[in-house]
Chains A and B, each alone.
Chain A
Amino acid sequence: MNYALFLGCTIPARLTQYEASSRAVLGALGVELIDIKEFNCCGYPVRNIDFKASMLASARNIALAEKENLPMLILCKCGFGTLKHADHILQEDPSLRNEINTILKKEGLEYTKGVEIKHLLSVLYHDIDRDTLTKKITRPFKNLKIATHYGCHALRPSEITHFDDPVNPTLFDDLVALTGAESIDWEKRLDCCGAPLTGVNDDLSMDLTEKKLANAKQSGADFLCDACSYCHIQFDTVQGIMNNTTGTNNSLPAILYPQLLGLSMGIDGDTLGLGENTIDITSVEKFLSE
């Protein structure tokens, strides 16, 4: 299985452990990741300002993958949602597609039919043979309680993202359960992490984050698990800032799914970048079976 790995802007600059752990896990599962250096911004951050600029950025990425005839594997949920949305519109709106292709053709690119756009979790869930995956899990967790955070831009709008049932999703819980951890039920699991308003309305953003973390903690979680660069930075780096500034400490460390999966596959914590998280998560290793 070959995929063009789409990292986006945030992961290489501020969340290298997400890339490292994903590569380690996918490598061990026999997935080949192809790097396309020319990939650019997914378009998500500029959609508030300029829809067409956002579409153009998305379309260029898809066209680059199309040129290589590769499906895209996306780690970030916001990037995933934006690319899916752009793909949908490019297929539905021929006049916009032509307008964008006129620009892309200047550098020898073209969006014609698009490519498959998949999130890391969908690839692990749908594309990897389940037996292969199960066999690789050599050190399952014991007594570890995980609060899964689905991430808005993967779930919704479901008619475009086709990620899972938007009301009662199970995909991520199943993947967490594979590692031996228990995926707990919690009220706010489908809510927003707050990241889209970081830097825009920080009080509101942190308020939402705080409520989510408190709810997960009250529901008995040892860790929150996510699979999105924005969500993770919100739950890790921003939670760190919150702990410093407000003094309230609802501290619930967040772990990236490939870090969790990697540990259960016997991959060492350094390779998975455990030490790079702002809030210490190394205690998760205590839950690993011998």
Chain B
Amino acid sequence: MFYSISLYIALAIFIGGLIYKIAAWLSYKIGVDSKNIPTSKRFSSALKGIIVTIFSAKILTLIKIVVLDVLVQRKVLKEDTFRWVTHILIYGAFMLLLLMHALDAFITSAIVSDYSATLNPFLFLRNLFGALVIIGICMAIYRRFILKPPRLHTNPMDIYAILLIAIIMVSGILLEGTKIGSYSLYKNMVTDYAGIEEGEEEFTALTAFWVDTFGTISPDIKAPFKDEILTAGKELHEMSCAGCHSRPQWAFIGYPIARAVKGAAGGLDKAGVHTMLWYLHFLACFIGLAYLPFSKFLHILTSPVSLLANSIMDKNNSDPANIATRQALELDACTHCGACTARCSVGIIVEQRGNVNILPSEKIQSIKGMVASKKQTDERERRLILEGTYLCTNCHRCTDVCPSGINLEDLWVSVREDMLQTDSPEFSVLSPLSFYRGLIRESIPASEYTRPLIKAREAIAAPCDLMKAPDTAVPLTLANKELQDSLLLSDQAATFSACFGCQTCTNVCPVVAAYENPKEVLGMLPHQIMYAAGLGIKDLAFGSQMLWDCLTCYQCQEQCPQGVHVTDVLYELKNLAIQNVARTGESVSG
């Protein structure tokens, strides 16, 4: 009764959760393109897409993906054998346990007519699969908590998942161990199947046989036994018990546990420990079922869908409604395995920047939080997410290795294009990180393309009042020693003070040469910036557009007769100008 009620409750939560998730996949809006597509359109497009695909040649691609990526998981194998073995053990053996053991009433009994859980090969296989899952769990724990690959983050969701499977497995084997040793269960069985009651002579013979060979622990019938009693017991056993009971030694984990606790078996039995373990075991399974749609276990359903969808969809040819739905679903297909982060080209710089959203595995979690949260994500968090999506070289490695087939690169591009329009300026747009954005500029409306660039330039120039008043007379004495002192990163402070204003840098600069009126467009020219830096005039050093239009071609530096590291100084001023505005920005908002 309790069993059925809890099962139905778990099932109801599971189904409700799934419906909730599907609704989310059809309604979450990620990126600019998804903004104007209503849920109804996304629902009909998804249905249409699925039906059309199933009845097309693409079905062959899908079958291939199911075998290679869903079942064999070649992407994990290619990246990391240890992780592949871990996952195959957990998922493969758990699935087998689910089919053979948990669903035995529906599957195994239907296939094998005289099925009994205590009969071989099921008895043995249950232990084998259980052992494999436990080895897998130990490997997962080893990887996350002992091996700790660089920049792998473990969040509570990862711990709950490991813990839940561990509880299911351990409670299962302990349950089996205590049942093997339980005298009360034995007595009930004898009554039910052999029709013999305690105290009868046949009972003593059968019990002697079971104590001797099956590990049953009886309070009063103890070895050594006479041969004829054992022979009589064996006959009774073969008549009434053997049809359902293989030797429990085949339970190669459960049986040793029974032997190990045999001294306490009577007490455990009286206390009903096996009943408690049974409750623990099935409740853990039901909790797992109910929790599935809200946990990383959801990837059991979403990862295959993501793999399949991505194998046949692409940005240019697929229905935008379906891309929007796929991107929402992908947020739930992430297993937080860390494969993307392990291969991320810029992952290392998180050690310097401290923003975990640089790491793909953390970035997708933050994006999920931002998209799913009902209330506004606070501005600081949004700024970190946007920076994380832009500090990316679009090398595509995260996407190539994702075992769930998530098109992470497209996700970053969608999220950041949207945020670049609405959020506070992102300064890394003014760096070669924008190279990829430049290459895909034809896919972005012209005004949206330039807005983030203008926003960033304006924000950096905003605090530089002197730049806005070009007629102001500037005293030619050192105004700010602090600026000089901060330009120490690559030893340039000593070099720019050697500038004697010969203008060679400006004369050889291809950017200056590209304009008829360079001073108006660029604000300050290279030699003027060197001079401003030498005098410590922050506004002039930071506020000039020349900084952001510098090609870093090193013509100026190569040709400077005074050995001023002009390009390196410009590089460093860019760093400082961004820090300068980021600091003012924080003090204004905070």
Q: Is B353 among interface residues, defined by CB-CB distance under 8 A?
A: yes
Residue in chain B with minimal CB distance to A61: B348
With a cutoff of 8 Å between Cβ atoms, the chain B residues found around residue A78 in the complex are 432
Among B150, B436, B565, contact of A106 (Cβ-Cβ < 8 Å)? B150
With a cutoff of 8 Å between Cβ atoms, the chain A residues found around residue B150 in the complex are 106-107
Among A13, A40, A192, A196, contact of B348 (Cβ-Cβ < 8 Å)? A40
The answer to whether B548 touches A200, judged by C-beta atoms less than 8 angstroms apart, is yes
Main secondary structure of the interface of B (DSSP, over half): helix
The answer to whether A12 touches B442, judged by C-beta atoms less than 8 angstroms apart, is no
C-alpha gap A207/B574 in the complex (Å):
23
The answer to whether B349 touches A50, judged by C-beta atoms less than 8 angstroms apart, is yes
The answer to whether A200 touches B431, judged by C-beta atoms less than 8 angstroms apart, is yes
Contact segment of A125-133, A151-159, A177-185, A247-255: A151-159
Residue in chain A with minimal CB distance to B555: A156
The answer to whether A200 touches B430, judged by C-beta atoms less than 8 angstroms apart, is yes
Beyond A9-B394, A56-B352, whether A192 also contacts B346 by CB under 8 A is no
C-alpha gap A197/B391 in the complex (Å):
17
B window 412-455: CB within 8 A of A = 427-439, 441-442, 453
Q: Is B578 among interface residues, defined by CB-CB distance under 8 A?
A: yes
Name, among A13, A89, A192, A241, the residue most crowded by chain B CB atoms within 10 Å (CB to CB): A13
The answer to whether B352 touches A53, judged by C-beta atoms less than 8 angstroms apart, is yes
The answer to whether A191 touches B510, judged by C-beta atoms less than 8 angstroms apart, is yes
The answer to whether B433 touches A204, judged by C-beta atoms less than 8 angstroms apart, is no
The answer to whether B489 touches A49, judged by C-beta atoms less than 8 angstroms apart, is no
The answer to whether B349 touches A46, judged by C-beta atoms less than 8 angstroms apart, is yes
Name, among A40, A78, A191, the residue most crowded by chain B CB atoms within 10 Å (CB to CB): A40
The answer to whether A56 touches B510, judged by C-beta atoms less than 8 angstroms apart, is no
Interface string of A198-222 (1 = CB under 8 A from B): 1111101101100000000000000
Beyond A41-B395, A156-B555, A198-B435, whether A48 also contacts B442 by CB under 8 A is no
C-alpha gap A56/B432 in the complex (Å):
17
Q: Is B571 among interface residues, defined by CB-CB distance under 8 A?
A: yes
Contact segment of A115-123, A230-238, A258-266: A230-238
Beyond A40-B345, A201-B549, A204-B511, whether A51 also contacts B439 by CB under 8 A is no
The tally of CB-CB contacts under 8 A between chains A and B is 176
C-alpha gap A78/B435 in the complex (Å):
13
C-alpha gap A244/B348 in the complex (Å):
38
**B455 to chain A: closest CB distance in Å?**
13
With a cutoff of 8 Å between Cβ atoms, the chain B residues found around residue A13 in the complex are 394-397
Interface string of B335-354 (1 = CB under 8 A from A): 00000000111111101110
C-alpha gap A208/B491 in the complex (Å):
31
With a cutoff of 8 Å between Cβ atoms, the chain A residues found around residue B575 in the complex are 48-51
Q: Is A47 among interface residues, defined by CB-CB distance under 8 A?
A: yes
The answer to whether A156 touches B557, judged by C-beta atoms less than 8 angstroms apart, is yes
C-alpha gap A166/B453 in the complex (Å):
33
Q: Is B138 among interface residues, defined by CB-CB distance under 8 A?
A: no
Among B352, B430, B552, B554, contact of A50 (Cβ-Cβ < 8 Å)? B352
With a cutoff of 8 Å between Cβ atoms, the chain B residues found around residue A40 in the complex are 344-348
B window 68-113: CB within 8 A of A = none
Q: Is A60 among interface residues, defined by CB-CB distance under 8 A?
A: yes
Interface string of A59-85 (1 = CB under 8 A from B): 010000000000000000010000000
The answer to whether A56 touches B349, judged by C-beta atoms less than 8 angstroms apart, is yes
The answer to whether A56 touches B348, judged by C-beta atoms less than 8 angstroms apart, is yes
The answer to whether A237 touches B394, judged by C-beta atoms less than 8 angstroms apart, is no
Name, among B343, B352, B442, the residue most crowded by chain A CB atoms within 10 Å (CB to CB): B352
Residue in chain A with minimal CB distance to B344: A40
**A92 to chain B: closest CB distance in Å?**
7
Q: Is A52 among interface residues, defined by CB-CB distance under 8 A?
A: yes
| 21 A-B contacts (beta carbon < 8 Å) | A9-B394, A12-B396, A40-B347, A40-B348, A41-B349, A45-B393, A49-B427, A50-B349, A51-B572, A56-B349, A56-B351, A107-B150, A155-B554, A195-B432, A196-B551, A200-B431, A200-B548, A208-B514, A230-B432, A238-B438, A238-B439
6 smallest CB-CB distances across A and B, nearest first, come from: A199-B434, A199-B438, A9-B395, A156-B554, A48-B431, A198-B438
Interface residues of B (CB under 8 A from A): 150, 343-349, 351-353, 391, 393-397, 427-439, 441-442, 453, 489-491, 510-511, 514, 548-549, 551-555, 557-558, 565, 567, 571-572, 574-575, 578
